[in-house]
Each structure stands twice: as C-alpha cells, then as structure tokens.
C-alpha cells in the first residue's frame, strides 16, 4: 500500500460526519469547517455517527484519495456482566 510520507499532518474532524458524503463533500468540510486547504497533502479523518466508520481524505499530488473502513468488523462489543 502506498501511504503518505513522513511528517504529514493529520486533521481529525470533531463531531459526526454524514458518511454518505463523497470526495467533494468531505473536501468542502475540510475547507469550511477545519479551515484547511484539502489539497495541501494533509490527511483529513472523518468519523460516522456510531464511531464505527471512518473516512480518510488525502491529496496525493495528482488527485484525491478516499479511504473508507468499517471498524465494526474489527471489534465486537462485549458485556461486563
């Protein structure tokens, strides 16, 4: 997998993001809410309502890359009873 280089800034959007948004909508959030240039080469992380989904938006110099992961498949809730 090709990843970002060393020293790349990562911005986490606090709060809930609508996971139906695509590249254009997430780039607009990075511009308007985080006050950052989405084409700066930084990684922008957005989380879903339940906290089990994450989208990463990154400019690689030629275009945007959008990574999506459903974290619910990696852990299962447990009870303390």
Q: What angle do CA 75, 57, 51 make, to 5 degrees?
A: 30
- Scanning the structure block, which residue is given the tokens 């974290």? 71
The pLDDT, as a whole number, for residue 60 is 87
Mean pLDDT, each 10-residue run in order, the chain (81 residues): 76 90 94 92 91 90 91 60 50
Q: Give the pLDDT score at 46.
A: 94
What is the arrangement of strands in the sheet containing 43-47, beginning at the earlier edge strand? 10-12, 43-47, 53-59, 64-70
């Amino acid at each position: 997998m090709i990843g970002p280089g060393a020293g790349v800034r990562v911005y986490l959007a606090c709060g809930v993001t609508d996971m139906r948004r695509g590249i254009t909508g997430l780039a607009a959030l990075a511009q308007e809410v985080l006050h950052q240039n989405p084409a700066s080469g930084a990684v922008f992380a957005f989380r879903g309502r339940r906290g089990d989904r994450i989208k990463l938006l990154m400019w690689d110099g030629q275009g945007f890359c959008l990574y999506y992961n459903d974290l619910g498949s990696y852990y299962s809730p447990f009870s303390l009873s």
